[in-house]
């Protein structure tokens, strides 16, 4: 019974996360006729997020601004827009082997980061505690670093001008989300010490 009450007491944002993840599943399966090792990693991540959506802790603070909402929408739609573009306008392979390595690295890093983050995960900038272990000991936003690896990797496998424009839009939203999330996380008492020990937001030794 406690689990039933916990699920019934979910916030609207939790159901949004659950619904968006289900929608991603609905898109993922038709677009992926043959599942590879990397695809199964992403499937496991989606299953994990479904569980997180129904069990995560409520935020202590959250960014409900229009800009944050727009950044989240862009971040969630641009990867699928790339797939659609490549179906309409086939791209050109650049370095397929190198792209596969980066995509695999991205999938593993993303899964490790999500497992470390656990119930603190969310799609909108929010404060649900501070994660400082695992990949978060190297950079402050390892999931976003995984997005960079994946974007570069997929475009090495196949790209056209439209996919490059979509990646540029996605990276702009990513940079905004980093800034917005850090404004919220700065309210945590442990944030100054964490920033002092992990100086890189996204790319180790660079930024």
For residue range 90-107, list pLDDT tens digits in order.
999 999 999 999 999 999
Position 155 pLDDT exceeds 90? yes
Rg (CA), the chain: 17
Average pLDDT over residues 139-154: 97
> What is the separation, in whole angstroms, between the first and last Cα of the chain?
47
Task: Report yes or no on 141 lying in a domain.
Answer: yes
Task: Report yes or no on 68 lying in a domain.
Answer: yes
* Tens of pLDDT, residues 112-137: 999 999 999 998 999 999 999 999 99
Question: Using CA atoms, how far apart are residues 159 and 82, in angstroms rounded to an integer?
Answer: 9
Task: Report yes or no on 139 lying in a domain.
Answer: yes
The winner for highest mean pLDDT among 11-15, 44-48, 150-154 is 150-154
Angle at 25 between CA 40 and CA 161, to 5 degrees: 85
The region of weakest confidence among 55-59, 68-72, 115-119, 188-192 is 55-59
Task: Report yes or no on 56 lying in a domain.
Answer: no
Q: What's the pLDDT score for residue 125?
A: 94
Does the global pTM surpass 0.85? yes
127: domain range? Answer: 64-197
Task: Report yes or no on 44 lying in a domain.
Answer: no
Q: What's the pLDDT score for residue 6?
A: 38
pLDDT band at 33 (very low <50, low <70, confident <90, very high): low
- The position carrying tokens 């994990």 is 48
More confident call, 2 vs 44: 44
Q: What's the pLDDT score for residue 24?
A: 79
Q: What's the pLDDT score for residue 83?
A: 87
Average pLDDT over residues 163-191: 97
Question: Using CA atoms, how far apart are residues 39 and 60, in angstroms rounded to an integer?
Answer: 34
pLDDT band at 1 (very low <50, low <70, confident <90, very high): very low
Q: Which of 198, 62, 51, 43 has its CA nearest to residue 118?
A: 51
Three-state SS string over 28-78 comes to HHHHCCCCCHHHHHHHHHHHHHHHHHCCCCCCCEECCCHHHHHHHHHHHHH
- Number of independent structural domains in the chain: 1
């Amino acid at each position: 019974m406690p689990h039933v009450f916990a699920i019934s007491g979910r916030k609207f944002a939790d159901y949004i996360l659950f619904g968006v993840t289900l929608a991603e599943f609905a898109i993922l399966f038709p677009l992926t006729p043959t599942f590879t090792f990397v695809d199964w990693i992403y499937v496991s991540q989606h299953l994990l997020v479904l569980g997180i959506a129904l069990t995560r802790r409520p935020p202590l603070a959250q960014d409900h601004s229009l800009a944050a909402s727009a950044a989240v929408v862009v971040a969630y739609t641009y990867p699928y827009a790339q797939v659609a573009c490549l179906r309409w306008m086939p791209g050109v392979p650049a370095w397929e082997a190198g792209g596969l390595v980066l995509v695999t690295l991205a999938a593993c890093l993303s899964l490790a980061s999500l497992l470390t983050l656990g119930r603190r995960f969310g799609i909108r900038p929010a404060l649900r505690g501070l994660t400082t272990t695992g990949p978060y000991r190297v950079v402050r936003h390892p999931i976003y670093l995984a997005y960079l690896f994946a974007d570069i990797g997929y475009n090495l496998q196949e790209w056209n001008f439209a996919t490059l424009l979509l990646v540029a839009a996605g990276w702009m939203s990513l940079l905004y989300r980093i800034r917005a999330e850090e404004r919220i996380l700065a309210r945590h008492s442990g944030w100054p010490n964490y920033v002092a020990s992990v100086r890189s937001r996204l790319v180790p030794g660079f930024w």
